[in-house]
Amino acid sequence: MRKGWAHSQTCIERHNNMIIDHPLLGPRDAREFVYLGDASLMNRPDWKDENAAEQFYEYLYLRTNTMGEHRELWYHEHGDRSWLVVTRHTLTHEITKVELARDLGLNVGQNK
Amino acid sequence: MRYSGLKIFTEALTGNKGWGPNWRQPTPKDTYDVIIVGAGGHGLATAYYLAKEFDIHDVAVLEKGWLGLGNVGRNTTIIRSNYMLPGNEPFYELSMKLWEGLAQDLNYNVMVSQRGLLNLFHNDPQRDSFIRRGNAMRLAGADAVLLDQDGVRRMYPFFDFDSSRFPIKGGLLQPRGGTARHDAVAWGYARKCDELGVDILQNCEVESFIIEGGICKGVETAKGSIRANKVAVCVAGSSGHVMAMAGLRLPIESHVMQAFVSEALKPVIHGVVTFGAGHFYVSQSDKGGLVFGGDIDGYNSYAQRGNLPVIEDVCEGGMAIMPMIGRARILRAWGGTVDMSMDGSPFIDKTDIERLYFNGGWCYGGFKATPASGWCYAYLLANDKPHEVASKFRLNRFKSGNMIDEKGMGAQPNLH
Ligand SMILES: Cc1cc2nc3c(=O)[nH]c(=O)nc-3n(C[C@H](O)[C@H](O)[C@H](O)COP(=O)(O)OP(=O)(O)OC[C@H]3O[C@@H](n4cnc5c(N)ncnc54)[C@H](O)[C@@H]3O)c2cc1C
């Protein structure tokens, strides 16, 4: 049993299966999540701004598409349904930071 | 050198000493008329048609590694023109026509095999939408045949027709669809480019653009700076990364797409088949391996390798149509970086920077587009206006509201 488990662990590492260290629930397999995209999607433009149309165009359609460290939104659909901001390297898939999007959002709100 | 049966025969009798390399390894010149960035299928095809159709021979194709290292050598080789929207279908049908004459044109066996592409449907609404697509295809001059269950049964008697979850009710067949040999496409174009005087510069990564007063004047590369009248970017999965060097953000995300080959089996799947209730498509190579794939992994990636859950998901799709492949072992699996656009359709366009052009956003389906993409990109570079069938592939279409969203998914690249 144990041996089998250890073997599957190395397989997973070799295939670089992504484990997201949820701030509340601990390490979870990435397949429990749904991926949305660049965390900049949290910064919705203000519709009252003069150039709101231009800003919304850029917000919705244009991406920096970083090669390297990427901050991105994952939704824990098969879990506690929280939104996470995951910092992950797009060349290695290594995850270095996981934050609750709610906390970040509240911070932004408080500083407005 | 022209390849022919006679040539093979005489070479066989004379010890095969007369075969030379297919292309030179030239040293870069200081300037070119046109620089193409990226020696994938599209970049090489562009250079070929520039020289052959538009008489522009002073061309260099710059490649960061070796030619064919990207998606052109990683795809599952399916070619088809079964799109629905008017912005897409005439373009893909042009591509199909070019495929049909490509081996002759290039004097190279690109192994185009029009073995028939069958999209299965599993319920009534899907049947309706396939009829609609088939009609749209025929209006654009392509071929489409609607098959009922018996029609599919005659082609593939071993499918799981009566599966309680996803019964197979029929399919939309494009008899002219099929496969081509991906590597040979790159090599065939490269060989002809070289013959026509195009410099293919391998191990020559573009590291930045030379932009003076809003005009692109050339590129800085691993082999020094090279100037050009026009610079045409054609780097597929690296689009976002490369265009960022020119300060541009694109309606594109890079994702990883995986593909698989099974151990060699006796001939069983004679065409190309796609599952309609999930994402799975399969053909069988001449060596006997089942060549198959499915969904992209779904997260931003430049890693050219994916994760296990998608492998499982793809194999489940295969099992749903033909449970008998369950005992076949997967021999190889690999990944490529695909340039997923915001509506699932590509771009062949000028950029806001003068003399800098962009071709990309091919998602996981640009292999079939290779000949037409090269043709239309060359047309754009030669005439400074888009080719008729590529006139909707504009970078500003999201601003003007002219998206070409075949699946109606909206601005969510991992769903296209
Ligand atoms: C697994 C998989 C399966 C697929 N299956 C199919 C299919 O069945 N049918 C289909 O139609 N399509 C399929 N596709 C999509 C198709 O392969 C691509 O859309 C198409 O190959 C992209 O065009 P290309 O050949 O020019 O790209 P590539 O071959 O990727 O060429 C781009 C080139 O640019 C080079 N480059 C990048 N950055 C630089 C730089 N800075 N300087 C110089 N050079 C650079 C790269 O090294 C690369 O060689 C699949 C893709 C994948 C990954």
Contact A101, A84 (CB under 8 A): yes
Place A2 in a pLDDT band, splitting at 50, 70 and 90.
very low
Written as six digits, the tokens of B191 are 């060989």
Residue B14 CA to ligand 1 center (angstroms) comes to 39
Residue B238 pLDDT > 80, yes or no? yes
Share of chain B above pLDDT 90, in %: 100
Task: State the smallest CA–CA distance between residue B129 and chain A in angstroms.
Answer: 28
**Which residue in chain A is spatially nearest to B301 when comparing CA positions?**
A90
User: What pLDDT shows up at residue A7?
Assistant: 41
Share of chain B above pLDDT 70, in %: 100
CB contact under 8 A, B249 and A58: yes
Query: What distance, in Å, lies between the first and last C-alpha atoms of chain B?
Result: 43
Listed residue (B246, B220, B194, B240) closest to B360, CA to CA: B240
Averaged confidence pLDDT in chain B: 97
User: What pLDDT shows up at residue A105?
Assistant: 87
CB contact under 8 A, B309 and A91: no
Residue A9 pLDDT > 50, yes or no? no
Place A107 in a pLDDT band, splitting at 50, 70 and 90.
confident
Domain assignment of residue B73, yes or no: yes
Contact A83, A99 (CB under 8 A): no
- Interhelix angle for B89-106 vs B182-195, to 10°? 70
Contacts of B299 in chain A (CB under 8 A): 18, 30, 35, 72, 88
The set of protein residues with a Cβ atom below 6 angstroms from ligand 1 is B 37-43, 62-65, 69-72, 74-78, 205-206, 234-238, 242, 257-259, 293, 336, 338, 362, 364-368
Sign of CA dihedral A82, A85, A91, A95: negative
- Tell me which of B341, B363, B390 is where a domain ends: B341
CB contact under 8 A, A38 and B240: no
Residue A62 pLDDT > 60, yes or no? yes
Of A29, A38, A91, the CB nearest to B302: A91
**Same-domain pairing of B137 and B243:** no
For residue B23, give the amino acid letter.
Answer: W
Could you report the per-residue pLDDT of B177-206, keeping only the tens digit for each?
A: 999 999 999 999 999 999 999 999 999 999
Domain assignment of residue B200, yes or no: yes
Task: State the smallest CA–CA distance between residue A55 and chain B in angstroms.
Answer: 11
ipTM for the assembly: 0.92
Tokens 């069988």 sit on residue: B284
Task: State the smallest CA–CA distance between residue A66 and chain B in angstroms.
Answer: 7
Average pLDDT (A56-60) is 97
Written as six digits, the tokens of B373 are 């993409």
Written as six digits, the tokens of B35 are 């620089």
CB contact under 8 A, A64 and B249: yes
Domain assignment of residue B98, yes or no: no
Average pLDDT (B105-111) is 97
CB contact under 8 A, A37 and B414: yes
**Same-domain pairing of B117 and B163:** yes
**Same-domain pairing of B262 and B332:** yes
Average pLDDT (A51-62) is 97
CB contact under 8 A, A62 and B251: yes
Instruction: Specify the ligand 1 atom closest to the Cα of B45.
Output: 26
Residue B132 pLDDT > 80, yes or no? yes
Residues 6+ away with beta carbon under 8 Å from B124: B169
Could you report the per-residue pLDDT of B320-364, keeping only the tens digit for each?
A: 999 999 999 999 999 999 999 999 999 999 999 999 999 999 999
Task: State the smallest CA–CA distance between residue B204 and chain A in angstroms.
Answer: 19
Contacts of B398 in chain A (CB under 8 A): 57, 60-61
For residue B391, how many other CB atoms are within 10 A of its CB?
Answer: 16
Task: State the smallest CA–CA distance between residue A19 and chain B in angstroms.
Answer: 11
User: What pLDDT shows up at residue A106?
Assistant: 86
User: What pLDDT shows up at residue A4?
Assistant: 40
CB contact under 8 A, A63 and B250: yes
**Same-domain pairing of B298 and B332:** yes
**Same-domain pairing of B267 and B334:** yes
**Same-domain pairing of B172 and B289:** yes
The conformation of residue B354, written as its DSSP 8-state character, comes to B
Domain assignment of residue B15, yes or no: no
Place A16 in a pLDDT band, splitting at 50, 70 and 90.
low
> Does B304 touch chain A if contact means CB atoms closer than 8 Å?
no
Place A10 in a pLDDT band, splitting at 50, 70 and 90.
very low
Contacts of B300 in chain A (CB under 8 A): 37-38, 65-66, 70, 72, 90
Chain centroid to Cα B230, Å, comes to 24
> Does B253 touch chain A if contact means CB atoms closer than 8 Å?
yes
Q: What is the CATH number of the domain that holds B398?
A: 3.50.50.60
Of B252, B301, B399, the CB nearest to A63: B252
**Same-domain pairing of B209 and B355:** yes
User: What pLDDT shows up at residue A12?
Assistant: 41
Residue B392 pLDDT > 50, yes or no? yes
Domain assignment of residue B16, yes or no: no
Contact A84, A100 (CB under 8 A): yes
Domain assignment of residue B143, yes or no: yes
Average pLDDT (B228-246) is 97
d(CA B292, CA B269): 11
Average pLDDT (B114-136) is 97
Average pLDDT (A14-31) is 86
Average pLDDT (B262-279) is 96
Written as six digits, the tokens of A62 are 């244009």
The residue whose CA is least distant from atom 39 of ligand 1 is B64
User: What pLDDT shows up at residue B66?
Assistant: 95
**Same-domain pairing of B337 and B397:** no
Contacts of B360 in chain A (CB under 8 A): none
Residue B292 CA to ligand 1 center (angstroms) comes to 17
Averaged confidence pLDDT in chain A: 87
**Same-domain pairing of B266 and B411:** no
Between chain A and chain B, the number of residue pairs with CB atoms below 8 A apart is 83
How large is the greatest C-alpha to C-alpha distance in chain A, in angstroms? 64
The whole domain housing B324 covers 113-177+253-341
Domain assignment of residue B62, yes or no: yes
Residue A69 CA to ligand 1 center (angstroms) comes to 23
The residue whose CA is least distant from atom 41 of ligand 1 is B206
Mutate to test the pocket of ligand 1, among B71, B98, B347, B356 (most ligand atoms within 8 A of CB): B71
For residue B316, how many other CB atoms are within 10 A of its CB?
Answer: 13
**Same-domain pairing of B350 and B391:** yes
**Same-domain pairing of B408 and B362:** yes
- Tell me which of B292, B313, B341 is where a domain ends: B341
What domains lie within chain A, and their CATH numbers? 2-110 (3.30.2270.10)
Task: State the smallest CA–CA distance between residue A60 and chain B in angstroms.
Answer: 7
- Tell me which of B295, B324, B341 is where a domain ends: B341
Residue B326 CA to ligand 1 center (angstroms) comes to 30
**Same-domain pairing of B296 and B279:** yes
Q: How many domains does chain B have?
A: 2
Average pLDDT (B225-229) is 98
Average pLDDT (B366-393) is 98
Residue B380 pLDDT > 50, yes or no? yes
Written as six digits, the tokens of B220 are 């800085």
Average pLDDT (B250-268) is 97
CB contact under 8 A, B300 and A90: yes
Domain assignment of residue B85, yes or no: no
d(CA B163, CA B149): 13
